């Protein structure tokens, strides 16, 4: 008996209709008999194959070896099984031995951006900003734990009752978070944020509607001419993607040092030194924090310092660096608005442990940061720039700002898509004179601009 996978939903968690393009579900068949056969073949294969010898082979050779044995064993276990179903069993067994089991197909699907295992029988994935349920699950919670152990052991990490939460990274750079009981009483939870292999450019973001041409050229000039820029936004809003795109406007001759935890940035330049924080070892000793890396970075003669995400006391060092000659720095911060981003940075500076008055911290922030670009994930799954906000200084105890560009909602389209425009407010940035002496007049941007994208660049 073979039961084909249910249709793929087009709306969040909806059981009807299908999105454009091939779906992960269409690559597997849902069949209890097949699932049992996969387990039997997998068990026999482990008895016949020397996994240590297998690990010495390259990826393609290992896969061919496992496929050959799995195909023979499947034929012995179920000789009556039709060819397509037998190949399905072989694929699943290979994924069990060499990959991440039932979610391996999702990992290799380029249209999927996130994989979420809530329980052994509850698997979800995200495509184009929308979450769908995946009909293929794990056999049981021990099965999920085996996959988590495989991921963590490959990177020298562990997860157990004494350390029930772990962050790790797959070989392709995808970010993994796992949590196990007792912090998640029901069973192990696994979340994988997939790493994009392609490099997003601002032109691509223009084409997919993230921001219009004029705003893209404006923020590109700000990066090129060394303004300190913070990209703010919520989880999954596209902050890192946008930061990667902004980096293409850093001149090629500059030395860039990046600080991340974990590594996600994929910058456009060659002269890049990537540094990654390290957690404590299995004995709970010798962690290397982003703050440690930042202090070391200042001794590496950087032209630009890029922090993938400021999330703690390293914010103090970052503000200090921005105020002492390391202009042109870029970073991201979790926040719900540009104003909230300032509050978050202020709180993180307080975490550094220095006994500084709040006014002194705010003066540091107002002097260090030039621009906040806020990106949001809309209800239709799209990512849009909603604010480009300038930090203008201090008034009494308050950091003052002005919005240069704001997204104006214009309603919903026939399919529920968000309609709106990111347009100028008409206010002139206070740093306009700084750019003017370098030959750049930003008047045309803040008063509205039209242009035409050509290839990988744009014309003015």
Contact call for residues 191 and 202 (beta carbons, < 8 A): no
Cα–Cα distance list, 52 to 22, 61, 146, 305 (Å): 36, 14, 17, 42
Query: Using CA atoms, how far apart are residues 174 and 113, in angstroms rounded to an integer?
Result: 10
What gap in Å lies between CA 89 and CA 29, rounded to an integer? 10
Out of 5-14, 33-42, 405-414, 425-434, least confident range:
5-14
Is 190 within 8 Å of 144 (Cβ atoms)? yes
Backbone angles phi, psi at 369, to 5 degrees: -90, 130
Residue 365 placed within a domain? yes
Given a cut of 60, whether residue 388 has pLDDT beyond it is: yes
Instruction: Please count the other Cβ atoms lying within 10 Å of the Cβ belonging to residue 447.
Output: 11
pTM: 0.78
pLDDT in tens, 91-147: 888 898 888 999 998 998 988 989 999 999 999 999 988 899 998 889 889 999 999
pLDDT tens-digit readout, 21-37 = 445 444 444 456 677 88
How many helical (H) and strand (E) elements, i.e. helices and strands, does the chain have?
15, 17
Residue 392 lies in a domain: yes
Residue 336 covered by a domain: yes
- Predicted confidence at residue 452, as pLDDT, reads 38
Q: Which pLDDT belongs to residue 18?
A: 39
Q: What is the mean pLDDT of residues 391-415?
A: 92
- Domain with 300 in it: what CATH number? 3.40.50.300
User: Among 197-211, 242-256, 370-384, which stretch is predicted with the lowest mean pLDDT?
Assistant: 197-211
Q: Predicted confidence band at 353 (pLDDT cuts at 50, 70, 90)?
A: confident
- In eight-state DSSP terms, residue 268 is S
CA distance 234 to 335: 6
Residue 29 lies in a domain: no
pLDDT at 423 over 60: yes
Residues 154-158 have a mean pLDDT of 77
> What percent of the chain stands above pLDDT 70?
88
Does 419 fall in a domain?
A: yes
| Residue 11, domain member (yes or no) | no
Residue 257 CB coordination number (10 Å): 23
Check residue 197 and give its pLDDT. 65
The total number of structural domains in the chain stands at: 1
Asked if the peptide bond before residue 254 counts as cis, ω within 30 degrees of 0, the response is no
Domain interval for residue 209: 202-459
Mean pLDDT of the chain: 84
Chain center to CA of 113: 8
In a domain, 128, yes or no: no
Percent over 90 (pLDDT), the chain: 40
The pLDDT value recorded for residue 19 is 42
| Confidence label for 282 from pLDDT (cuts 50, 70 and 90) | low
Distance CA 384, CA 364 (A): 29
Query: Does residue 200 register a pLDDT over 50?
Result: yes
pLDDT in tens, 300-323: 999 999 998 898 888 988 888 888
Residue 345 in domain: yes
DSSP 382-426: -EEEEEEEEEEEEETTEEEEEEEEEEEEEEE-TTS-EEEEEEE-S
DSSP assignment letter at 249: G
């Amino acid at each position: 008996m073979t039961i084909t996978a249910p249709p793929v939903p087009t709306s969040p968690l909806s059981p009807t209709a299908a999105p454009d393009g091939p779906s992960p579900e269409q690559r597997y068949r849902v069949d209890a008999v097949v699932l049992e056969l996969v387990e039997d073949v997998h068990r026999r294969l482990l008895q016949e194959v020397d996994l240590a010898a297998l690990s010495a082979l390259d990826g393609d050779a290992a896969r061919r070896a496992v496929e050959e044995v799995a195909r023979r064993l499947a034929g012995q276990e179920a000789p009556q099984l039709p060819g397509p179903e037998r190949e399905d069993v072989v694929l699943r067994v290979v994924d069990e031995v060499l990959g991440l089991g039932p979610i391996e197909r999702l990992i290799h699907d380029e249209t999927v951006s996130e994989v979420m295992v809530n329980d052994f029988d509850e698997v979800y994935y995200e495509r184009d900003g929308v979450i769908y349920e995946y009909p293929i699950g794990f056999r049981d919670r021990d099965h999920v734990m085996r996959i988590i152990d495989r991921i963590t052991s490959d990177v020298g990490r562990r997860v157990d009752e004494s350390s029930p939460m772990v962050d790790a990274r797959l070989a392709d750079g995808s970010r993994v978070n796992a949590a196990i009981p007792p912090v998640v009483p029901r069973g192990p939870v696994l979340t994988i944020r997939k790493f994009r292999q392609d490099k997003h450019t601002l032109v691509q973001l223009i084409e997919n509607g993230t921001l219009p041409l004029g705003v893209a050229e404006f923020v590109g000039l700000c990066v090129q001419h060394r303004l300190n820029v913070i990209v703010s936004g919520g989880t999954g809003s596209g902050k890192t993607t946008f930061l990667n795109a902004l980096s293409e406007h850093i001149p090629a001759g500059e030395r860039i040092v990046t600080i991340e935890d974990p590594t996600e940035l994929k910058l456009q330049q060659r002269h890049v030194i990537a540094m990654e924080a390290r957690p404590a070892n299995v004995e709970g000793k010798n962690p290397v924090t982003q703050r440690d890396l930042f202090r070391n970075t200042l001794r590496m003669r950087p032209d630009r310092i890029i922090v993938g995400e400021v999330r703690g006391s390293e914010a103090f060092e970052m503000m200090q660096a921005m105020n002492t000659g390391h202009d042109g720095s870029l970073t991201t911060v979790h926040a719900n608005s540009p104003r909230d981003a300032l509050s978050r940075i202020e709180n993180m500076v307080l975490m550094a442990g220095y006994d500084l008055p709040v006014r002194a911290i705010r003066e540091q922030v107002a002097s260090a940061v030039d621009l906040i670009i806020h990106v949001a994930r809309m209800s239709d799954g799209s990512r849009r720039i909603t604010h480009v906000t300038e930090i203008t200084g201090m008034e009494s105890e308050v950091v003052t700002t002005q919005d240069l560009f704001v997204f104006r909602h214009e309603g919903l389209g026939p399919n529920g898509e968000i309609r709106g425009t990111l347009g100028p407010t008409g206010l002139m940035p206070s740093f306009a004179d700084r750019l003017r002496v370098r030959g750049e007049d930003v008047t045309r941007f803040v008063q509205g601009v039209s242009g035409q994208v050509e290839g990988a660049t744009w014309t003015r």
